[in-house]
Structure 1
Amino acid sequence: MTSSPEKSAAKSADPVDSLVLHATDNHVSWITLNRPEALNAITPDQRERLIQHLSHASCDPGVRAVVITATGRGFCAGADLRGGPPTGGPQAGGPQAGEQVAGEQVAGERVAGEQVAGEQVAGERVAGDVARMIRLGAQRLIGAVLDCEKPVIAAVNGTAAGLGAHLALACDLVLAADSAKFIEVFVRRGLVPDGGGAYLLPRLIGPQRTKELMFFGDALTAADAARLGLVNRVVPADDLEKTARDWAERLATGPTRALALTKQLVNASLDTDRTTAFAAEAAAQEINMTTTDANEGVAAFTERRTPHYRGR
């Protein structure tokens, strides 16, 4: 997928900026994975840049919606740690020497340069390394999507495998090209799903369907993903960018703080009891009623006009 925001993205001396393109257009932050030759498998540096963009989107009042997409024929083939630890070193907050990739493979072809679990990148693995790597790596990325204070749309242009599938499914809305596929690839390598998959999927499609996908690791077409409820809408590949833009710009004209609070309530609802959920709902409405947009929405209703939200 090649979008106009990519073309307008500012050039930077940081090579990671060419691998994770970013531009803001009409209050929409476009984040584009740009390693098409590797089916957009994510390196540690790319992961950190994704987290950074999502964090900035949360605190930037000029951003009111986010789209995550990719170039080429793949959305994201999963984790590719061939580049080693983040260039920021131990202070970068990500996994360090000894990281290993979950052996992602798409359509029978291994991503160039990747390493299979069990092959060490550097040093000797000790107890706790893998758990730390997952916690500080893939889980941080998925958490950044779930915790982003702006609505996040995944525009899935091709295959989303392993962590790539979970990156898409963590988004608030998922659009998929009709050629896209979703693959819980971990079982093919004898691995446990990571990147929040065992948390996300049961909440989206229930435990039985989740186990079917994770036990067999079969590719799921975009149409089947929509049928199961993993995808909001499937569109022709040529219409994916336009549809994502239409949805994102519609969200960007909405009551931004109300959407953020709504996202928090829905995401938390399956992890709590009714009493706690009702209390959270009441508190969220109390907070929301202090915003300019809430006052505008009520005023527009009583005055029988279309509201004009400012994201405040």
Structure 2
Amino acid sequence: MYQQISVTRSGRNEHVAIVTMNRPDKLNALTKVMEAELREAMEAADRDDTIRVVVLTGAGKGFCAGMDINELEVLPPGDIRAAQWMRPYDMNRRADYQTRYGYFPAMRKPVIAAINGAAAGLGLVFALYSDMRFASDKAAFSTAFARRGLIAEHGISWLLPRVVGPGHAADLLYSARKVPAEEALRMGLVDRVCEADDLMAHTLAYAEDLAENVSPRSIGVMKRQLWAQPFQTLAEATQMANAEMFDSIQSEDFTEGVAHFIERRPPRFSGR
């Protein structure tokens, strides 16, 4: 159904969807076709109640090497403001994330980036918009923008300091240097580093644990809390938590969470 991405399920757990950017001969460099397909696939996964976790990765040796240079050369300046890329306003999502790639934090499901190779430019943007980043020891990272005469695009100037701190963010943006996986781990740019051959197995094992043993309702609420937090005071975050706690205690997943613990059996969460 897709030309430049693929969507599959984990062989061990149908609740885990794997979205793969699939232009391996171009290190999965982004095109308009891939961009549209990626958004369509991610939003479809969010609507599908059988999917509880999404893993985003790249085919071959790269994660995503940024925008395809052939398309970048002819990119019209107005494209960055084009209305069709913005997510329509949804009262269940924060207006702060009505941006081109705001559908990542707007999803109810956690998105784990399995970064198997180069993540540069927009590839790094996709990784930062994900909830967690697991990297191969062969992965490398670069903002790339300054070396193309561009600027910190798509909110990366807001995201990056919150992930690695202002000093590291300035370094990565100004120099656009290549950062190896181990350095990325030390600065907090990624959460885990695995040997290349083990990356997908490790990422899927983590994703499958979330899908099998954790309430999808709880994760959806917690994800909304985490992405709302940068815009809240402590009081506002607490008020939001109190309101959500009131609802969670009345949910099916809370009843099941207590029952499976008392009965010493695997959980059967419904997500309601």
TM norm. shorter chain > 0.5: yes
**Following the alignment from structure 1 to structure 2, what is the Cα–Cα distance between the partners of residues 274 and 140?**
25
What amino acid maps onto 2:29 in structure 1?
Answer: A
Q: Larger Cα Rg: Structure 1 or Structure 2?
A: 1
Q: CA deviation at 1:163?
A: 0.9
Hey, what does 1:300 align to over in structure 2?
A: 260
Does the CA contact (< 8 Å) of 2:4 and 2:37 recur in 1?
no
The 3-state SS of whatever aligns with 1:27 is strand
Hey, what does 1:90 align to over in structure 2?
A: none
Q: Which of 85, 107, 110 lines up with 1:136 in the alignment?
A: 85
Deviations 1:167-206 (A, max 9, x none): 0121111110000011010011221111221121111122
Q: CA deviation at 1:135?
A: 8.7
Whether 2:39 is the aligned partner of 1:51: answer yes
Q: CA deviation at 1:232?
A: 1.1
Does the CA contact (< 8 Å) of 1:162 and 1:193 recur in 2?
no
Q: Which of 102, 106, 115 lines up with 2:72 in the alignment?
A: 115
Q: Which of 268, 271, 275 lines up with 2:228 in the alignment?
A: 268
The Cα RMSD (Å) is: 2.1
Does the CA contact (< 8 Å) of 1:142 and 1:196 recur in 2?
no
Cα distance change of structure 1 residues 36 and 249 upon mapping to structure 2, 3 Å threshold: same
Q: CA deviation at 1:64?
A: 0.6
**Structure 2: gaps (5+ residues):** 88-97
TM-score by length of 1: 0.77
Whether 2:170 is the aligned partner of 1:193: answer no
Q: Which of 207, 214, 224 lines up with 2:183 in the alignment?
A: 224
Once the two structures are overlaid, the 10-residue window that deviates more, 51-60 or 273-282, is 51-60
Whether 2:183 is the aligned partner of 1:240: answer no
Does the CA contact (< 8 Å) of 1:43 and 1:79 recur in 2?
yes
What amino acid maps onto 1:152 in structure 2?
Answer: V
Q: CA deviation at 1:304?
A: 5.1
**Following the alignment from structure 1 to structure 2, what is the Cα–Cα distance between the partners of residues 229 and 271?**
22
What amino acid maps onto 1:136 in structure 2?
Answer: W
Deviations 1:1-29 (A, max 9, x none): xxxxxxxxxxx3xxxx1311012332111
Matches within 5 A, 1:74-223: 74-80=62-68, 111=69, 113-116=70-73, 119=74, 129=78, 131-133=80-82, 136=85, 140-223=99-182
Once the two structures are overlaid, the 10-residue window that deviates more, 301-310 or 244-253, is 301-310
Q: CA deviation at 1:307?
A: 3.2
Matches within 5 A, 1:28-39: 28-39=16-27
Q: CA deviation at 1:133?
A: 4.1
**Following the alignment from structure 2 to structure 1, what is the Cα–Cα distance between the partners of residues 56 and 39?**
12
**Following the alignment from structure 2 to structure 1, what is the Cα–Cα distance between the partners of residues 42 and 145?**
26
Hey, what does 2:92 align to over in structure 1?
A: none
Does the CA contact (< 8 Å) of 1:155 and 1:175 recur in 2?
yes
The 3-state SS of whatever aligns with 2:268 is coil
What amino acid maps onto 1:196 in structure 2?
Answer: G
Hey, what does 1:69 align to over in structure 2?
A: 57
Instruction: State the identity as a percent.
Output: 36
**Following the alignment from structure 1 to structure 2, what is the Cα–Cα distance between the partners of residues 23 and 261?**
25
**Following the alignment from structure 1 to structure 2, what is the Cα–Cα distance between the partners of residues 187 and 210?**
13
**Structure 1: gaps (5+ residues):** 1-11, 81-110
Cα distance change of structure 1 residues 134 and 210 upon mapping to structure 2, 3 Å threshold: farther
Does the CA contact (< 8 Å) of 2:101 and 2:154 recur in 1?
yes
Instruction: Give the number of aligned pairs.
Output: 258
**Following the alignment from structure 1 to structure 2, what is the Cα–Cα distance between the partners of residues 277 and 283?**
10
Whether 2:15 is the aligned partner of 1:24: answer no
TM-score by length of 2: 0.87
**Following the alignment from structure 1 to structure 2, what is the Cα–Cα distance between the partners of residues 135 and 223?**
38
